[in-house]
Structure 1
Amino acid sequence: MCYDCTPSEDLGRTAASRRTFARFLAAGAGLTVLAACTPNAPGAAAPSSGTPSGSPSLSPSPFASPIATPEPTTAAPPPPEPSPTPSPSSALPRQFSLTDPASPWLVVNKHRPLVPADYVPADLVRPAVSMTVSGEAALLNSTTAAAAEALFAVAARDGVAMVLASAYRSYGTQVTTYNGYVASRGQADADTASARPGYSEHQSGWAFDIADGGGACGFQPCFADQPAAMWAKANGHRFGFVVRYPWMFHPITGYYYEPWHLRYIGVDAATDMAARGIFTLEEYFGVGPAPGYP
């Protein structure tokens, strides 16, 4: 149909038709696309018949562009939550106890307290690394201390500044620490930020916290973007360490993201976890999630 080729006596009807058609376009009635019928100049390209995927492009004529088909309004599904279903460990050359506090495979969480509750490692030593703490907070069991020395040395060679910010914590110190959180934040909030006495990995001697030496984002979520945290996350398994409380896995571990908290489990297990894409000890050792205290 050609609206520009109508005889002059039909101009009134044509104008009315154009107004009617324009109203249909404005209302989004989904009418069939009509092309302008002005003859193409010699050598001019034929008008495109493609339909835009988004909003229609602007055109000097309302008949030169097709009506855009509205895109579906159904929202994309949210990313899945981490599965609480534990994944059993693969067979490794050596197996260790999951309950003995002296075992590198010890799993301590809100369902699995230390036994005895006031456990003290028999071989606490001070690792030869840069640190911002003193006294008991500077101690680790001898195995973790040696691994930490290797970790810090290679990080330094790679140009990454890393310091030990908190290590061993006795049962008595944990009582004071936890009660301080309860007094300032309430028990419910304290239970997501600090372990109850007898439930802390720090008491086992197998875990410690790191910082970057300059105090940037110390013990804050933004520490995840600091070179020390990124390097430890990418390379820790080479020395037997994992980031114990990873991002978005608090329904399993019971604690929010702590990119500063490293836990020694041995090179074989840490490397196996990294290779298989398993992020928590609960999943790796198949002990089940521990989102809260029983």
Structure 2
Amino acid sequence: MCHNCVAGSSSGASRRSFARFLAAGAGLTVLAACTPEAPVAEAPSSSAPIPTITSEYTTPSPAAVESTTAAAEPPAQVPVPPSAAASLPGQFSLTDPASPWVVVNKHRPLSPADYAPADLVQPSVQLAASGEAALLNSTTAAAAEAMFAAAAREGMVMVLASGYRSYGTQVVTYNGYVAARGQADADTASARPGYSEHQAGWAFDIADGGGVCGFQPCFADQPAAVWAKANGHRFGFVVRYPWMFHPVTGYYYEPWHLRYIGVEAATDMVGRGINTVEEYFGVEAAPGYP
């Protein structure tokens, strides 16, 4: 859907148009790779429940979004680009979950599926999460501490809203969606177990501390999100699911979801104007599960 729409000033206009569309009450459940999921009756005893936003994605429906942008749809098959990262001196695995370059999407599950980082730690940042959701792998945690500190020095209030999510938590979460909605609809709202970046500890969600537009597209216009998008690469982070690139990433816009790929790669990716990890690392688009 409008594969090349996220560039320069057009993204701000697009967001404003989308905000007006939301206000009209058209109805959407946004695809959420990382959004704290709907509450479930039984969560693993070793894990704190993922925080829930009760107003999460009630407008507009995927069908409504599709109908308003049909003329701007990209080809069904998005070409696989060459890897831009190949020019970097340091190379990392795209499949090893312990690698900062691992690409996790609907075509590329973690292996093993129940992978858990061996170095989970709680970063020294302001938290709006507890239990496992307050953890990151040690590399991501150190980078997050540096980024949050820099944001604070510039007057930005930024909090960690959701970090690590175990395979067991994702099983319960996803199965809860399937039971409530059926699998087809569940796949538009929750990552299948073993297919979530959060499980590898390389990704986390941010909020502004006040709950303004929490886990909603309008968060993109909040100071914390604006600052993170403009400065995250300095600390190794990119916005993993950018505006209107869901035909590539498989998920709608999530301005709160940051992914660590390392300072060199993140800076190169932003400098080249490449919007998605799939395109940067030269892997196929993953709009849906095979």
TM-score of the superposition, structure 1-length normalised? 0.71
1:7-22 correspondence runs (5 A):
none
Any conservation in 2 of the 1:85–1:283 contact (CA below 8 Å)? no
Q: Which moved more, 1:84-93 or 1:251-260?
A: 84-93
| Structure whose CA Rg is larger | 1
Which of 78, 84, 88 is matched with 1:89 structurally?
A: 84
Q: Show CA shifts across 1:160-184 (max 9, x none).
A: 1100000000000011222233344
Tell me how many residue pairs correspond in the alignment: 218
Match of 2:262 in 1: 266
- Sequence identity percentage: 81
How many angstroms apart in 1 are the aligned matches of 2:102 and 2:258?
A: 14
Are the equivalent residues in 2 in contact too, given 1:86–1:285 (CA < 8 A)? Answer: no
- Alignment RMSD, CA only? 1.7
Per-residue displacement from partner, 1:67-117 (whole Å, max 9, x unpaired)? xxxxxxxxxxx6674992233224101000000000000000111110001
Q: Secondary structure at the match of 2:165?
A: coil
Aligned to 1:143: 139
**CA distance in structure 2 between the aligned counterparts of 1:253 and 1:149, rounded to whole angstroms:** 27
Q: How far is the alpha carbon of 1:190 from its aligned partner? A: 2.5
The verdict on how the C-alpha distance between 1:155 and 1:287 changes in structure 2, with shifts beyond 3 A counting, is: same
Post-superposition offset of 1:225 = 1.1
Change (3 A) 1:177 1:140: same
Counterparts in 2 of 1:121-140, with a 5 A limit? 121-140=117-136
CA distance in 2, matches of 1:218, 1:197: 24
Structure 2 unaligned residues grouped into runs of 5+:
1-70
Query: What is the DSSP-based 3-state SS (H/G/I as helix, E as strand, rest coil) of the residue aligned with 2:160?
Result: strand
Once the two structures are superposed, residues 180-234 of structure 1 have per-residue CA deviations (whole angstroms, 9 ceiling, x without a partner) of 3334444333323321000000000000000000001111111111111111111
Shift of 1:127: 0.1
Letter in 1 for 2:195: Y
What's the counterpart of residue 166 of structure 2? 170
CA distance in 2, matches of 1:171, 1:252: 24
Partner of 1:99: 95
Residue 141 (structure 1) shift: 0.4
> Equivalent residue for 1:224?
220
- Higher relative CO (Cα under 8 Å, sequence separation at least 6) belongs to 2
- The TM-score, its normalising length taken from structure 2, stands at 0.72
Alpha-carbon distance between aligned partners in 2 of 1:222 and 1:146, rounded to the nearest angstrom = 28
Name the structure 1 match of 2:149: 153
Q: Is the 8 A contact 1:121 1:204 kept in 2?
A: yes
Task: Determine whether 1:190 maps to 2:186.
Answer: yes
Q: After alignment, is 261-270 or 190-199 more displaced?
A: 190-199
Letter in 2 for 1:86: V
